[in-house]
Amino acid sequence: VITLGASSPLFAIAALIDAGRSGLVGASEQAAFSAANVDVAGSSVRRRQQPAQAPVKRKQTPGTGVKISLAAYDRAFEAKVRWQAGKCNKCGTLAMPPRFHCLGCGADDSWEYTPLPYAGTVYTTSTIHVPVPSLESPYTLAVVECDDVDVRVLMHVTDVPPGSVKIGERGKLVLRRVAMRSGVPDYGYAFSPDVPAEGKSGGAK
Ligand SMILES: [Zn+2]
């Protein structure tokens, strides 16, 4: 099986498990090559897949794209992709993304990563209709309140039509490619509402 993209090793392993075949999975990136011998015995593939939906009409606005800030990208990368907050070693205050200076007790550079829950509630939401150069609009953002912790995160809403998610709605956090910046894919978590997409009319005009 040959696939392309950062997620391709996962698809290759899933394809092996699906076919019930053990074997080598190799991945190359620039000058590095990694290989793993995958034994599929006792493994299974579970799919969480939305039923097919009518395509959403979005308009792509021409432009040069959202520029990447490598400093910001690097600062948030681990926390975003691992879905972990910075937890202050002194007072336990959580920050997402992690901060050098604790907003709870003022301690500097004294924190460690702690896992965040993969479920939450929409605290507030907004659908963006204005054309943003190189982006497709409309799209919906939400501030999501993570379960059981004092953390709210701004993220894209996925799997439902733009404008259809409501305040107080519950959902899961799913890993998505949220943007391309200067040609670099930007991965992060997006909010997937528990309410199924079918029957949702979409508030976008
Ligand atoms: Zn603190």
Range among 102-106, 158-162, 178-182 rated most confident: 102-106
Interval between CA 106 and ligand 1 midpoint (Å):
6
More confident residue, 190 or 187: 190
- pTM for the model stands at 0.75
Interval between CA 105 and ligand 1 midpoint (Å):
4
Interval between CA 91 and ligand 1 midpoint (Å):
4
Mean pLDDT of 94-117: 94
Interval between CA 25 and ligand 1 midpoint (Å):
44
Residues near ion ligand 1 (Cβ under 5 Å): 88, 90-91, 93, 102, 104-105, 107
> DSSP states of 57-114 as a string?
--EEPPSS-BPP-HHHHHHHHHHHHHTEEEEETTT--EESS--SB-TTT--BS-EEEE
Side chain identity at 165, as an amino acid letter?
A: V
Best CA proximity match to 128, nearest among 204, 72, 200, 54: 204
Mean pLDDT of 116-142: 91
Q: How far apart are CA 188 and CA 172, in angstroms?
A: 13
